Chain A
Amino acid sequence: MSAHDICVSVNGVAHKRAVESRTTLADFLRHDLELTGTHIGCEHGVCGACTVLVDGLSSRSCLMLAAQADGRAVETIEGTAGNDGDLNAIQRAMIEHHGVQCGFCTPGVVMTLIELRRNLNGRPIGEDEVRRALSGNLCRCTGYQGMVDAALAVLNAAGA
């Protein structure tokens, strides 16, 4: 099995590692870096539980090889709370609106919403658009309504 030397920035910290060609970014994050907040639900790119941001773009870490992340900046759920460990506005809204049940899809959902929030850049958003943005994250527990409400509340809040 051939190996690759890679250097990946994860949540602002540079990691130099040797990885097997076939190691996915998800497995690299979970097993090599022990960042287990990124979850694996299908390993075929549909469920979105493994969503991370790569150079700011939401990506399925189960479909990307670790070697492909060489030289890139990856953001995962572990990097989302503030330095003091405080939850960010999206996370707080998820509690307030009961957007979490088992929590397995949750990290992927939060990463998707972080990207959405950056892209909106303060522009208000309607429910249909939020639902479309979340349609790549399967959740089997909540029926989505809580997370949709959380997103609407945060994304349309003054100063969002």
Chain B
Amino acid sequence: MISKLADARKGAHGLIGKSLRRLEDARLLRGAGKFVDDIHLPGMLHAAFLRSPVAHGLIHKLDLAEARALPGIAGVYSWADLRPRWQHDRMPLALHASGIKFDVDPFCLVKDEVCYVGECIAIVVADSRAIAEDAVALIDLVIDPLPAVTDPCDGLMPDAPRARLDTPDNLVALTRIKYGDIDGGFSRAAHVVKERYRLSKGGPHSIETRGLVARYDARDETLTVHSNTQMPHRAKQVLVAALGLGEHQVVVVNPDVGGGFGPKALFHPEELSVPTVAMLLGKPVKWIEDRYESFVSSAQERVQDWDMEGAFDANGRLLAIRGKLSHDHGSSTPYGIALPYNASSNLVGPYVLPAFHIEIALCLTNMVPATSTRGAGRPQGTFVMERLLDRMAKKLGIAREEIRSRNLIKPGQMPYSTPVVMRDGSHMTYDSGDYPECQKRALEAADWAGFATRREAARKNGKLLGIGLANYVEGTGRGPFESASIRVGASGKIMIASGATSQGQGTKTMLAQIAADVLGVAPADVHVVPGDTRATPMGLGAYASRQTVTAGNAIFAAANEVREKAIKTAAVMLEAAAHDLELKDGVVRVKGVPGHRKTLAEIAHAISGVPGFALPGDIAPGLASHVDFQINALAFCNGAHVCEAQVDPGTGHVKLTRYIVVHDCGTIINPMMVDGQVLGAVAHGIGATLFEWMRFDETGQPQTVTYADYLLPTAEVMPRVEIHHMESPSPLNPLGVKGAAESGTIAAPAVIISAVEDALRHLDLHIRDLPLTPPRLLALIKRAQKAGERP
């Protein structure tokens, strides 16, 4: 199959690898995009939620009467009011995950026990959002508080209070990665480093919040949901199961979507309650999350506590790593164990690690569920490995690049199978790449060797400058499949539909570019419909940097089928042999015979069918194809980051002055868009390292619910990022592509902290906690200075 398609590539039109300008941009730049909040339907009502003001407690009183009496209110509903509409007490989300001890599906509205600040208790529907919010304020709510679990380590202590009364304890899952001779590795070790890290990672913070408009048409008994979900087909599945409808009765459609970054892939409670009340009221209902709601109720990443030790031989070669990861999982299990498992498996990274044992404990806490945001746990695992390497390098007195070189997997070892067992039972296997070369290029691009001079020059100006290095891998293109269909209309226009979705990555351009390359048409003549359950019967959507791998290869195969069919049909129409024909620039012609030709439009017209007449040559109708591209193995992209950081020891302020990325995501479809993905992902990594910190007090009250408290990176603090590419094609798919959307985030925390420690190397600082805010760094500096003063 793969070689056959690779052959088909030979007819291509040279668009793959070109920085085509995006098809999406002009509309968006005019302000003519159509985002979910831009949808206005006649008679539309607006929803607002009463949310829990406390992290844990039992509802003592919930009186909706006054709210219901407010003019302009269409309805106010609690769990008990909507339960008759649902098939289950809870939202039927459970993602199969081994290791989960008790599936704790979230409630759509709180039944009796509130488990985090922001949990939906009641939904109010009104003529306007403002009136709905007025009514929320009139609801009489009394909660008997319970002790809250706010820390994954405390929550796993034997005497800890329970985060939920419906589970016997807080250890919702205990899983492990274990292979190799751990004890032997540690007993043979010449050196051991032991460290404990506490890593808080930033949330998603797409500038467009979550939202949906739901409409139920009683005449055709169809529920249509316009939603900015990353996974419309999954949302449809949940709605079908929760509401007891048939698949034919539920449509989920993406409008333009203003960023995703993970949590929009999760099915949140509002995505069920809003459609439910729309059905109940027989009117369209809109709910747009406001920013406060986004801080308290959208899934986020938070704290992981890593207690780790690494064993090395006398030359700095890794022998074994062991330890424990305590993960704050939040109050329910809507998304399995992927986040801490990714974190743990990605610790291995591009290195030969002979033995590894990590116990992964998932602790229920009284917070919104923690699920994947850009990077999906991998930055934390990479951080731990890279910090252990830096520590050991220092201990051994060898250079940071040298300890890495000694441990990197060599290109001759590819494909490299690690003993780590993945979700589907297979072994984590790196498919291609040249990791030492990647590091080498990053060091060269950064002029690593010449850094001493720059450090000295900075010192003369009273500045402390440091340089850091980090390597990483990312498993991308998660299966099991993605769909794409393509149809050439009799007008000559081409329509693509795919289960892939778009949150700004340029999914439409990517799919159009691949199809246009195969068929030799203008990408602008290709219309792409992503994320619409009417256009595509099955699909998965955006997660795990997967869409160019899965949907890209699906459209590549489908376009090639169309190409073959066009030639076969033209052979009949031109009375020529198929092997004498070629498809070039949207026209099938007899090789070497000018004028003997049929356009794709003519061919499509010929097999579109006329009542009562046979199709030419008994060819099946329609110049079209649908392919579900199936894949299970992950395509591993990799990279190396180098950055320079200037540290002000008087304030703890860190300024990144240079940032270099060498990135290998296999075949590149559109270099400009890949650069854009890498840049955006690096920005998320910089935010998570230096700025973004979702803070809670000891009672579970969120403390950072505006962008004045929770800092996102701005244009001013972002360094210019210099990106270089390597292209090691993946042998796993015909295009040879790997995903690129998250990888930039993965190395950022490790490389920045490496550079900061280097800038402060005279103090011998160890930075163990993220994010590294100025007050935190200042405290570390002061402590180190004090220790240095002691005799």
Chain A residues within 8 Å of B, Cβ to Cβ: 20, 22, 30-31, 34-44, 46-47, 49, 76-78, 80-81, 85, 87, 91, 94-96, 98, 100-107, 110, 127, 130-132, 134-148
Contacts and interface: CB of A to CB of B under 8 A. Distances in A.
Contact of A36 (B31, B130, B258): B31
Contact of B676 (A40, A127, A142): A142
5 contacts: A34-B40, A81-B30, A87-B26, A91-B30, A141-B259
Interface residues of B, number: 54
Given A36-B38, A44-B707, A135-B716, A98 B31 contact: no
Given A43-B291, A101-B676, A135 B714 contact: yes
Nearest to B30: A81
A75 B302 CA distance: 40
Contact of B706 (A35, A38, A46): A46
B503 interface: yes
A49 B207 contact: yes
A132 B40 CA distance: 36
A60 to B, nearest CB: 12
A100 B21 CA distance: 11
B35 interface: yes
B28 interface: yes
Interface stretch (B183-191, B607-615, B677-685): B677-685
A46 to B, nearest CB: 4
Interface string B26-64: 111111111101101000000000000000000000000
Contact of A143 (B33, B209, B683): B683
A143 B708 contact: no
Contacts of A96: 21
A138 B714 contact: yes
Given A98-B673, A144-B718, A41 B207 contact: yes
A63 B33 CA distance: 23
Contacts of A95: 21-22, 25-26, 29
Interface in B698-749: 706-708, 712, 714-716, 718, 720-721
A31 B38 CA distance: 9
B39 to A, nearest CB: 9
Contacts of A110: 29
A74 to B, nearest CB: 13
A42 B707 contact: yes
Contacts of B119: none
Interface in B622-680: 672-673, 675-676, 679-680
B716 A132 contact: yes
B229 to A, nearest CB: 14
A76 B31 contact: yes
B256 A103 contact: yes
Nearest to B208: A104
B683 A37 contact: no
Most chain A CB within 10 A, of B30, B208, B716, is at: B30
B175 interface: no
Given A36-B31, A95-B29, A131-B714, 17 more contacts: A36-B35, A39-B207, A42-B707, A44-B707, A46-B708, A47-B207, A91-B26, A95-B22, A101-B504, A101-B506, A103-B27, A107-B31, A130-B715, A138-B207, A140-B712, A143-B718, A147-B715
